[in-house]
Amino acid sequence: MLAHWSSANGCWCTHDHWAYWFDYQTRALRKVFRIPPRSNSWQGRIKDWMARSWLKRTLRPGPGIQALVELPARDVLVIYDRIYWFSPELHGSCAEVLSSDVEPPMAAPLRGGIAVHPTSQCVYFGEYLNGHERDIRVCRVDARARKVQACWSFARSEIKHIHAIHYDRFRNRLWICTGDQDHESSFYYTDDEFASVHRFAGGDQSWRAIALLFDETGMEWGMDAGKDAPADAINLIYRYDFAEARRTVLATIGNPAYAACEFTDGTAMIQTTFEPGRLQDTREEAALWFRGHDRQWRQCLGLPYAPKPRAGVSRYGSILLPQGMSPAGLILLTPVNSRRWYYTMLAMNVGEGEDSPNYRIIDVA
């Protein structure tokens, strides 16, 4: 089971093709909706029934839904093989497919790379592609209008792919993180929902990032210099102060940062991923780094790498975190390719001054 989108009250999670709501107060996990079969023919429904069976999911489990976000009106958008929209008001227990005439079809985003703009309630994501020579597009989804469109395009000479788009509530701004080579690694932003896009900074691996954290005066991120980066590109956590136009190093994390999560009390978490074959001399583990009220980053969890092949899942060692805002001291997570808790969703209590976090296992499979 995977946690995707958290608020102070609960978190949207998925298992296979079903979406669940986890209530933080009651610790109850409630099945809410599923994405429909690829085909509604009787052959398609039988094929889907077999794929959803306990036997198939036990013997040959797949990755399940990898991208889900909640909209301000409590609607949910899923990006999988197609784009799905679920509204508690309009749909029963099955999401609706949003058709798209974008050609070629939009490539999927990287996990954690989807932004929701609270004013327009539109969802934005960028294409994440490897081994290609075409321009990279940004997709806008207006679920209530049932409209999917490409709203911006980056030339292949500018970037390889888009790592993530993030909404900055302190500046009412969308940030775009790109990669991977030095000249492709930059931060872009738009203040008008892609009517225009501006390059903020970039040009080396220190601006190669996936996850950003924002506050009243600045932003923080962990580098994402992976196995294709040079041996001396050891990943750091940076902070940029807007008023002073100054960037500082906060911590050395070694492995690339793949995700970040905020808590309601202003603390935060960054997750690092182990990439086999890397040139950098780093620990063979996925890790969590916690930022307390003193604004210092400290590692609070390390899970040694242990590859466990699963169809459609990367061989990297990782700890999957939800987007959004988690309640103070509690986060849902799913380890991948680790010695313990592989693909099992955990609830982790974390706080300042604790020598070791406490865990409670939550899983339906």
Task: Answer yes or no: is pLDDT of 276 > 80.
Answer: yes
Are 249 and 238 a contacting pair, CB within 8 Å?
A: yes
Report the alpha-carbon distance of residue 37 to residue 29 in Å, rounded: 23
Task: Answer yes or no: is pLDDT of 55 > 80.
Answer: no
Domain ranges of the chain: 2-361
Mean pLDDT of 32-44: 83
pLDDT value of residue 364 = 44
Task: Answer yes or no: is pLDDT of 353 > 90.
Answer: no
CATH superfamily membership of 2-361: YVTN repeat-like/Quinoprotein amine dehydrogenase (2.130.10.10)
**Per-residue confidence band for 49, with pLDDT thresholds at 50, 70 and 90:** low
Are 137 and 152 a contacting pair, CB within 8 Å?
A: yes
Average pLDDT over all residues of the chain:
92
Residue environment code for 73-104, b if the CB has 16+ CB neighbours within 10 A, otherwise e: eebbbbbbebbbbbbeeebeeebbbbebeeee
Task: Answer yes or no: is pLDDT of 360 > 80.
Answer: no
- Tally Cβ neighbours within 10 Å of residue 263: 21
Q: How far is CA 94 from CA 34, 46, 76, in A?
A: 5, 17, 12
**Per-residue confidence band for 63, with pLDDT thresholds at 50, 70 and 90:** confident
What are 81-101's pLDDT values in tens digits? 999 999 999 999 999 999 999
What are 145-166's pLDDT values in tens digits? 999 999 999 999 999 999 999 9
Task: Report the predicted TM-score, pTM, of the whole model to 2 decimal places.
Answer: 0.93
To the nearest 10°, report the CA torsion of 71, 13, 112, 292.
100
